[in-house]
Amino acid sequence: MSDDKTIDKLLTEQNEQVEQLDQTIAQEVPGYSSDMVIELLKKSLSIHWQQTTALSAQAIHLERWGYTKLSDILRKDAEEEHQHAIINLKRLEFFDIDYQPFMISPPVWKRHDMISMIQYNLESVKEASATERATIVAARAVGDEMTANIMMPLLHGSENGIQLYEGYLKLIEQMGIENFLSLQA
């Protein structure tokens, strides 16, 4: 083998090593998504902890005061939102992101005021839906299809929530709060 050929061979091997290194770097998490996606995942996590605590408390409150049907619906909703929080946590763990501290705003509604409770829940699912849509858009913009796909069931859940609570408010408007409550026992 002439010297030229040896140098060529060495250069080829070196290029292959550099290519392999590039592939390794490309698979690292920091280049996989964007800071915007991470911030939105954290925001979604906070909203879901809030929903989990608020809906759990509401379900117990309603059960105590005899509104069994509504209580059952909200308890199942609390469980679903808990699952959504777990999905957010798993994705943040995948990115090896520190999501502490957990930020949960205290729920604000007046005890026994059904309308303010439903309005609070409606505002919360609207905020969740906006955050989930923004996450999907931000993730797709950087080619992070997996995060976008993971957020789809969460968005679906929030849109169902919007339909549910808007439906309740419409029913209350049409039949009056007393009649609405008499159906929830």
- The least CB distance from residue 23 to Fe ion, in Å, is 36
Query: Are 58 and 74 within 8 A, CB to CB?
Result: yes
- The least CB distance from residue 98 to Fe ion, in Å, is 23
Comparison of 114 and 157: residue with beta carbon closer to Fe ion: 157
- The least CB distance from residue 102 to Fe ion, in Å, is 16
Sign of CA dihedral 56, 57, 59, 63: positive
- The least CB distance from residue 78 to Fe ion, in Å, is 11
Q: Judged by CB under 5 A, does residue 114 bind Fe ion?
A: no
DSSP letters for 56-108: HHHHHHHHHTT-HHHHHHHHHHHHHHHHHHHHHHHHHHHTT---PSP--PPP-
137 sits in which H/E element: helix 114-141
Q: Which of residues 141-170 bind Fe ion (CB under 5 A)?
A: 154, 157
- The least CB distance from residue 25 to Fe ion, in Å, is 34
Comparison of 150 and 154: residue with beta carbon closer to Fe ion: 154
Helix (H, G, I), strand (E, B) or coil at 159: helix
Q: Judged by CB under 5 A, does residue 84 bind Fe ion?
A: yes
Q: Which of residues 64-83 bind Fe ion (CB under 5 A)?
A: 81
Comparison of 86 and 177: residue with beta carbon closer to Fe ion: 86
- Which residues are CB-contacts of 11 (< 8 A; sequence separation ≥ 6)? none
Q: Judged by CB under 5 A, does residue 120 bind Fe ion?
A: no
Comparison of 45 and 114: residue with beta carbon closer to Fe ion: 45
Size of the site for Fe ion (CB under 5 A): 4
- Which residues are CB-contacts of 61 (< 8 A; sequence separation ≥ 6)? 111
Contacting positions for Fe ion (CB under 5 A): 81, 84, 154, 157
